[in-house]
Amino acid sequence: QKEVEQNSGPLSVPEGAIASLNCTYSDRGSQSFFWYRQYSGKSPELIMFIYSNGDKEDGRFTAQLNKASQYVSLLIRDSQPSDSATYLCAVNYDNAGKSTFGDGTTLTVKP
């Protein structure tokens, strides 16, 4: 079992809909959680980070963290075709050092 699990998808939503991306992690000591967007052939681009239980909103993006359930999610509201990419979930154990990544969820937003 991988330390960070994501549904590989592909996830397809119509333009304007809400896309929901999920991630679970195995290490209860994990403290920092990150979402990256990665276009094909490009490097990961940081979208959001979250450290505390609850919701964190930034524009059209909302990250949700539930440490008891070891679950972190990303909601994308008003999805646009330009949001079509692979979304990577990353987890840090001790706020210092390496990130452990899931293998990503591929999102397609259809016009």
Partner 1 sequence: DTGVSQDPRHKITKRGQNVTFRCDPISEHNRLYWYRQTLGQGPEFLTYFQNEAQLEKSRLLSDRFSAERPKGSFSTLEIQRTEQGDSAMYLCASSLAFQGDTQYFGPGTRLTVL
Does residue number 102 form part of the binding site for partner 1 (CB under 8 A)? yes
Spatial strand order of the sheet with 54-58 comes to 4-6, 19-25, 71-76, 61-66, 54-58
Stretch that binds partner 1, among 10-18, 37-45, 59-67, 70-78 (CB under 8 A): 37-45
Kindly state the number of chain residues that form the binding site for partner 1, as judged by CB under 8 A.
24
Residue placing its CB nearer to partner 1 in the complex, 17 or 48: 48
Q: Please give the residues from 63 up to 92 whose contact with partner 1 meets the rule CB under 8 A.
A: 88, 90, 92
Residue placing its CB nearer to partner 1 in the complex, 27 or 103: 103
Would you say 96 and 102 are in contact if contact means Cβ atoms under 8 Å apart?
Answer: no
Does residue number 5 form part of the binding site for partner 1 (CB under 8 A)? no
DSSP-assigned states of every residue in 84-97? -EEEEEEEESSSSS
Cis peptide before 10 (omega within 30 of 0): yes
